[in-house]
Amino acid sequence: MSVLFNASLIMVHVGEKSGEKEKILQKLVAAFPDTLPPYSVLWKAGHPVEVLLDACVSENADLIILGAIQREELLKYYVGSVARKLTRKCPCDVLLLIKPSVERIPCSHAVVNGLAHKKTEVAITRAFYVLNALGANRLTIVEEIPEDDVAVKVDDDRSLRKSTIVKERITLREKTRVGRILANIPPQMKANVQHNIQPIFGRRGYSIGHFARVKRADLLVMNAPQAHSVWDRIFPHDLEYILSDLPTDVLIVR
Amino acid sequence: MAKASVFTGLRSNIFAGFVVSLIALPLALGLAVASGFPMVAGIITAVVGGVLVSILGGSYVTITGPGYGLVVVLLSAVSVLGDGDIHAGYLYALSAVILSGGVLLLFGFLRFGALSDFFPATAIQGMLSAIGVTLLVKQFYVMFGDMKTKGTVLDLLVGIPDLLKSLPHVSDGQLYAVGIGVVSLLIMFSYSKITNRVFRLIPAPMWVILLALGFDAYFSIIGGENPISKTLLISLPDNMLTSMPTPNFSKWQEPAFWGIVLSITLVSSIESLLSIKAVDKLDPEKRRSNINKDMKALGVATIVSGFLGGMNVGTVISRSSVNVNNHATNRSSNFFHAFFLLLFVIVFQDQLSRIPFTSLAAILVYTGYKLTAPAIFVRMYRIGKEQLFIFLTTLIATLLTDLITGILTGLFATFVIHVVLNKAFWLFSRNLIKPNVLMYKENETNSYYVSVIHFCTFLNFYKLKAKLDKIPQTEKVVVDFSLCAFVDHTVQESLHNYEELFIRKGGMVEIIGLDIHETDSSHPFAVRTLRPVQTLRVFGRGKTRRQQQLEALAQEKGWSYEENPNTQKRLLRDYLGHETTSVERMYNQLSNSNKNLSLFDITFSEGVFIAKESVQTTLLRVRLNAPVPVFSFDREMLLEKLSHLAGFHDIDFPDYPAFSDDFYVRGNDPEGVRAFFTPALISFFSAYGFYHILCNGKELLVRQFLRPASAAEASAMIEFGLALKKKIDG
């Protein structure tokens, strides 16, 4: 991965340094004979979340890559796994990989959120950057519009017609907004990536995950969430849906 | 939209209201007596309902009045609350009716119109059948002149032979009444088989009344007394307005009282909601009822009816369908039905009191029979053995206990069966509260796409329903269940209703992704489970709706159709970029007579290590007569990742810059491909740019989506294949 971004790699191992573990690591590294980027190994004992967070800050990392389980157990859901905690607290971008494979599967289709949020512009730009680096060529910008925005409750034919008109108006508005963001992205970045916009009326944060699954996207790029509390997990919203049931690899942009 | 005036088609509405009132009169009287209420209560219910709901309601051609389901609950309410004293029980029951009207009104404001969707269809059917059995058995006794029967339904059922044996010992007065009752029952049963137009001018219940009145008239002409004993003739109060009862609310602190309020509300609202839904399908103007508004109107009407001494006001299906058949166009027919009903009672009060109870009971026996006819049992068995089990469980539980316990038992039984069928509790427990439906408008086809994951049963159907309700019914909708592990009967039946609604308005609902689910039944709406299939196996006997549609499509085109899967692991191997793709199975194959065109669904996964979900899609294979260059054709760069690995590059067509920009054509023989793409072919491909085409030199594979195509899309693909073959082979 770091080869593609021309970055240096820091492997962080949480735990005591020992000969046996080092041997395993050496073996792993040896599997990449020629393409190996500059790398270093950090050995540190302690709680995984804290160690990794410290490492991010001290090494001034841009991206942290984590393996994650696709579906969380109920207990984990409320207590929180390492991956999840990091996702929330990490100061840099986080890439969650759900299905690491020995052979690299070419990534071809990414989905990015297009919410009306100040971070969205960063997320979309970052998505274009990542796609270019990975050599992927399709990007779908999904705008999730909560049903509550359509202030018409559908009861009969007349209210249905009204709500359809309101929806069309919102769709148009959203498309112009995303269009403005797209206009700010350098053309050379857009040249190799085919992008389209898909508005979805549905629960925010959930719909995009389901969409990524249906479209069999390889990467999902999301805004980082705001502050979290236990309430967010009891009444899940936004990113929580995706984190509890990862549809694909997820990149969280900070 | 200009609001249609109430006065348009006033004449046809007055007529429809008149015909309905002919049926409503005997039913209102009969249902009131069967509920343990005074006779006039039924009339009050129908009149109040007709007037208020026609003003406040949100549906169009429904008729309101006393419902069948209520008979059972109200009768037990009167006997339980009154402790044997029928009049005291009636006053208590009235207060329960008023409160249930309040609850119904609240439901309307809380937008609980979807209430009936939370119960499994089979359990509701079981409950209705239990009501039918109760009605049938109790009224059977009344029909034989036995007015004072008590005991559970099962006791009564066992006692029927004794009842028949005691018949020769009764008085003459009773015997005449029984005779009229039995003849009335025969009329009810044979009415649908008689096609005489004059006979059919008058509805069956009215014939029953006419029979009774004619009997009376005969005796008055020959100068004698009506031989039927006075106790068996119905009696109306002399002056209905002065005899208004006062509801007794003094039992409001007792939990049993609230249990009754709850069950009255539940039965009344479920019956009304089912009726409204059913009537919407009959409406010739295809309007959609505002269910919540109608619930509010029914609530208000019930409160008023309760204060005047009437029963719960509900929407009733049989009277509504008569209304539609007589060309009613709006709610005014409901108003006129009430008006005529009132008129009859005032003008013919004297005549009405000559009708024996037995003829009213005959009408109700027939109604009860319709609710629990053997055909219903057969239908349940056809859908699946487990549905019959749920049905019988609910039926028996309702008969042994009460309605609320019965329907809850049915609900629980359904859930247990779903868990057993899936052998997995976690599927339900883990995903119950999570959202599971995605809906969006596809940019390419401009149709709506709805995808459902995890499972879809009565437990979470409301989520899918909420989405479907927001789609204009003139649009095309594709519902995809391929990521859904379990779909139950309730959902499929409701979706079938949506299919009908959409077709009536020019839209379409198509269901895809259910074909590889397993089932044990041959019914198209049987429960379907997706289990990880390790070995290839022949599917269950049942075909899904989509399979039936595909089969019909094959017949229409004179093609052969084979739904069972076969392995063709290497099917895609010699195609550009699909060298590692292994096809798990190929099914639903349609092919033409000389096998050079075929359309089929496949399930494939890319690679082995990659734990990527396997993909279902529909492909069209065109075998060509002459060899052509190897190429791929594609608008989006979907196949880019695959082909650039194999060293293929985009082939430009210098003469056709627009075509080159829009589409990606790749191959290992650029010259050959350029020669192959003649101007005619280029314009043809441009017109059908939404298809992806792969060619291995001998065959073409055409694909539209990464999901199975609906029957209509499959048909379009076949047309495209035929045209394509003609273009290339000449």
- SS3 letters across B22-45: HHHHHHHHHHHHHCCCCHHHHHHH
Q: Return the pLDDT at A11.
A: 64
Q: Residue length, chain B?
A: 730
More confident of the two residues A1 and A124: A124
**Would you state the CATH architecture of domain B431-539?**
2-Layer Sandwich (3.30)
CA distances from B100 to B70, B324, B614 (A): 12, 29, 52
For chain A, percent of residues with pLDDT exceeding 70: 51
Model pLDDT, residue B3: 45
Predicted confidence at residue B24, as pLDDT, reads: 87
pLDDT, one tens digit per residue, over A103-157 is: 555 667 778 777 766 677 777 887 787 777 777 777 788 877 777 666 667 767 7
**Which chain B residues touch A213 with a CB distance below 8 Å?**
453, 483, 613
Give the pLDDT confidence score for residue B537 in this predicted structure: 38
Q: What is the reported pLDDT for B300? A: 93
Polymer length in residues for chain A: 254
The pLDDT of residue B542 is 62
Chain B partners of A108 at a C-beta cutoff of 8 Å? Answer: 637-638, 640-641
Residue B676: its H or E element: helix B670-676
* Contact in structure between A143 and A172 (CB atoms under 8 Å): no
A148 touches chain B (CB under 8 A): no
User: What pLDDT is recorded for position A79?
Assistant: 47
Task: Decide if B650 contacts B627 (C-beta within 8 A).
Answer: no
Residue-wise pLDDT for B371-382, tens only, equals 888 888 888 888
Instruction: Report yes or no: B45 and B65 within 8 Å, Cβ to Cβ.
Output: yes
Q: Do the Cβ atoms of B706 and A216 come within 8 Å?
A: yes
> What are residue A144's DSSP bridge partners?
A200
Angle between helices B10-34 and B121-143 (to 10 degrees): 70
To the question of domain A63-253 being in CATH 3.40.50.12370, the answer is: yes
Domain ranges, ordered by start, for chain B: 10-376, 431-539, 553-558+590-729
Inter-residue contact B485 to B530 (CB < 8 Å): yes
Q: How far is CA B291 from CA A148, B57, B161, B335, B715, in A?
A: 21, 9, 45, 19, 37
Q: Under DSSP, is residue A198 helix (H, G, I), strand (E, B) or coil?
A: strand
B426–A contact, CB cutoff 8 A: no
Neighbours of B409 (CB within 10 A): 22
Chain B contact set for A148 (CB, 8 A) = none
Candidate from B292, B613, B640 with C-beta closest to A137: B640
Give Rg (Cα) of chain B. Answer: 32
- Give Cβ neighbours of residue A24 (< 8 Å, ≥ 6 apart): none
Residue B541 is classified by DSSP as: S
Instruction: Say whether A203 and B435 touch across the interface (CB within 8 A).
Output: yes
Give the pLDDT of residue B77. Answer: 86
Instruction: Judge whether A163 and A150 are in contact, CB under 8 Å.
Output: yes
pLDDT at B540: 47
Distance from CA of B427 to the nearest CA of A (A): 12
- Rounded to the nearest 10°, the torsion over CA B605, B608, B611, B617 is 0
Closest CA to B296 of B47, B94, B48, B107: B107
Residues 6+ apart with CB under 8 A from B89: B36, B77, B78, B79, B80, B81, B82, B83
Q: A interface mutation test: which of B637, B645, B650, B692 has the most A CBs within 10 A?
A: B637
**SS3 at position B623:** strand
Can you tell me the distance from the alpha carbon of B104 to that of B296, in angstroms, rounded to the nearest whole number? 7
Output the pTM of the full model.
0.74
pLDDT of residue B612: 46
Q: Check residue B302 and give its pLDDT.
A: 93
Q: B486: alpha, beta or left, given left = phi > 0 and alpha = psi -120 to 50?
A: beta
Nearest to B611 among A99, A194, A203 (CB): A99
Cβ atoms of residues B718 and B557 within 8 Å = yes
Q: What is the dihedral of CA A229, A233, A235, A237, to 10 degrees?
A: 90
pLDDT at residue number A235? 52
pLDDT tens-place string over residues B423-460 = 777 777 767 777 777 887 777 667 888 888 878 888 88
Cα–Cα distance, B336 to B325 (Å, whole number): 16
Per domain, the residue ranges of chain A are 1-46, 63-253
* B615 Cβ under 8 Å from any chain A Cβ: yes
pLDDT for the residue A230: 53
Neighbours of B503 (CB within 10 A): 12
Neighbouring residues of B706: CB distance < 8 A, sequence distance ≥ 6: A215, A216, B615, B617
Q: Which residues contact A199 (CB under 8 A, 6 or more apart)?
A: A142, A143, A145, A170, A171, A174, A175, B440, B441
Give the H/E segment covering residue B339.
Answer: helix B332-347
The residues, any chain, with a CB within 8 Å of residue B107's CB and separated by 6 or more, are B113, B115, B265, B269, B295, B299
Inform me whether the C-beta atom of residue B614 falls under 8 Å from chain A C-beta atoms.
no
Q: Are B338 and B16 in contact (CB under 8 A)?
A: no
Residue A236, min C-alpha distance to chain B (Å): 9
Mutation for testing the A interface, residue in B440, B512, B661 having most A CBs under 10 Å: B440
CA distance B301 to B549: 45
Please list the ranges in chain B whose pLDDT falls under 70.
1-8, 147-151, 224-226, 235-243, 430, 444-445, 515-542, 565-584, 605-615, 635-650, 689, 730
Say which amino acid occupies A165: I
Contact across the interface for A200 and B439, Cβ inside 8 Å: yes
102-121 of A, contacting B, C-beta below 8 A: 102-103, 105-106, 108
